[in-house]
Structure 1
Amino acid sequence: MTSVDLNADLGEGFGVWQLGDDDAMLEIVTSANVACGFHAGDPTGLLRVCRSAAQRGVRIGAQVSYRDLAGFGRRFIDVDPDDLLADIVYQIGGLRAIAEASGSTVSYVKPHGALYNTIVKNREQAAAVVAAVHTVDSRLPVLGMAHSVFFDEAARLGLRTVAEAFADRAYQPDGRLVPRRQPGALLTDPVAIAQRVVTMVTAGTVPTVDGSPLDIEVKSVCVHGDSPGAVRIAAAVRDHLNAAGIELGAFS
């Protein structure tokens, strides 16, 4: 039976400001990309979501980012590679302590937002992120976009790569995501999204904004926890995948 991982970005509240429904998403997903405090998340909230993930058997990943709370990590920062490396090490280490205190551990690393998109093409920053993960634990897989320089750099240092596709984001013909500020970047219809994900997983293709098909590699599917209707989208994706005979399971 075909199996695919379903992940979501969680732990993104801060203080009294709550974003998304982490507990509801944790009943659906198999992996949780947990914020590390640089783009979102505070220690109390991160401990809570890690405990909840551990209780449900959901795998925890460190969602590392630029140091950009005000911009939610969605603004490019021309950071010195040595500073970026240190920031990533710091974030993984902090979440690792919280995860272990919750009875679990950090099992993978996924960049967030602008950093994720930047290291598709920016080799210098990609190399810094990879070096940081390798420094902390060379056994940690990294989630990202297939055919990116991030994956090239990860392979060079022997890190395992896990190709990710996005359920609720539109794709450009070159394989990159449509920028969030452009019309149509975010998809909102749960059924249409779920059908699209089934095609991604079974056929390895996804339609782009100009209607052309894009070949896509999928080991893990992301539903953004802060998207409108995120829980309904994730549930629809799960149900459609199951109906298609595809099992949900964390990547091994």
Structure 2
Amino acid sequence: MRLRGFLAIIVGLGGVAMGAFGMHSGRAEDGVIGAGVAFIAVIIGLGARSRSTAPATVSEETSPATGGPDLAVSADRESSGASTKTEADPASSLMDATDPITDPLTGLMNEIFFSGLLSTKVATARRRLWPLSIVLLQLVMEPGVSEEETDAGILAFSAVVAATIRTADVACRVGSRSFALLLDDTDEDGAAWVAERIQIAHAREGASPIAKVCAGVASYPSHGIEPAEILITAKSALKQAADNLELPGLGRVIVAPQRPL
């Protein structure tokens, strides 16, 4: 940069001297050449000045040791930016996260989903003036069944449930050996029939580690107006069904008694 400025001064002085010589000798060619050389000197000087005052770009990194671009710093910065982007990527976070509302064994919705959906279903039933039924199912396993056999039996039973209920109905696994159904536009008699159909379909599957399927049924508005009230009533009916395992058959189906008007 300094060399170019010095060169511009030398060339400029040479041009001025040649122009002065042309004026003294009376030769126009010398004067024209001197003016051209002086113009070149001006161009060189302006180029050196513009380079010295040009602002540094944002992408340049200067190494304290060499004065040149610090490639290590730039590489570290790019690497850090890439890792930050990856950590903040919502799609990546969603793929790594475990689904909090799905049962990992059966693929059905779990108790968290059931609890949140129940209030919505009751509100819909109230608005549309139709009944809504809850069916709670409890599986009773054969004695001495291994954990692997239990899981296989539960998985097979969940497939029977999904194939028996309507598409509009909702089946959830709400415990290790219990399921819950939400049946739109279905009263307690229809819900009891659904529970019995599930029992029969399961029995037709053949050998299973599940000995009995007990069921408790409660409905809106026959057994309650609020979601919690209906669910408590269904649990009470299920307990009554599960307390009579010594009786023969596929398992008891208990419909809760209607509440007084």
TM-score interval, normalised by the smaller of the two chains: under 0.3
Bigger proportion of residues as helix: 2
Say which structure, 1 or 2, has more relative contact order (CA 8 Å, 6+ apart): 1
Return the TM-score normalized by structure 1: 0.24
TM-score (norm 2): 0.23
